[in-house]
């Protein structure tokens, strides 16, 4: 079940040797600005399952406790990293070749969702990001 992916220009490539831990839609304003999209979907993986080839993604400290990565050539967003979760990487779902196989399970930061975006998918909605037990953090 390896998954593969790459940025828009193809320089940053990744291979993932495990199933995602979670797949979520994030509506926070920082994810919107990072992606330029109304919502950003992430697939969370164990860091040990993800390998990069080509030039490494550029790391940007977007806030205390969090880093975002992107391709240094084309600017495609690649991942999100929490300092408090060094064992995890949140890969931007849209760069994965098998993105159609991912099944999102929730919406995060619903309180920040753009009012004109309507996603009637029946998934749980959280005002912020829930912890691993589903409670809002």
Residue 137 clears pLDDT 90, i.e. is over it: no
List the domain boundaries for the chain.
3-112
Residue 132 clears pLDDT 90, i.e. is over it: no
Task: Give the pLDDT score at 136.
Answer: 43
Look up the CATH number of domain 3-112.
2.170.150.70
State the Cα–Cα distance between residues 53 and 50, nearest whole angstrom.
10
pLDDT tens by residue, 27-72? 999 999 999 999 999 999 999 999 999 999 999 999 999 999 999 9
Question: Are 14 and 77 in contact, with CB atoms under 8 Å apart?
Answer: no
Residues 6+ apart with CB under 8 A from 90: 42, 43, 44, 45, 79, 80, 81, 82
State the Cα–Cα distance between residues 87 and 82, nearest whole angstrom.
9
């Amino acid at each position: 079940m390896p998954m593969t992916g790459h940025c828009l220009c193809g320089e940053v490539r990744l291979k993932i040797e495990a199933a995602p831990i979670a797949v979520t839609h994030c509506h926070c304003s920082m994810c919107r600005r990072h992606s330029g999209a109304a919502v950003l979907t992430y697939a969370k993986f164990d860091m040990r399952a993800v390998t990069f080839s080509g030039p490494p993604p550029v790391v940007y400290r977007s806030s205390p406790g969090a880093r975002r990565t992107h391709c240094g050539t084309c600017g495609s967003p690649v991942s999100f990293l929490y300092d408090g979760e060094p064992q995890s990487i949140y890969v931007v779902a849209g760069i994965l070749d098998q993105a159609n196989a991912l099944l999102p399970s929730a919406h995060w930061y619903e309180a920040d969702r753009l009012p004109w975006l309507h996603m009637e998918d029946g998934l749980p909605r959280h005002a912020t990001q829930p912890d691993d037990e589903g409670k809002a953090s």
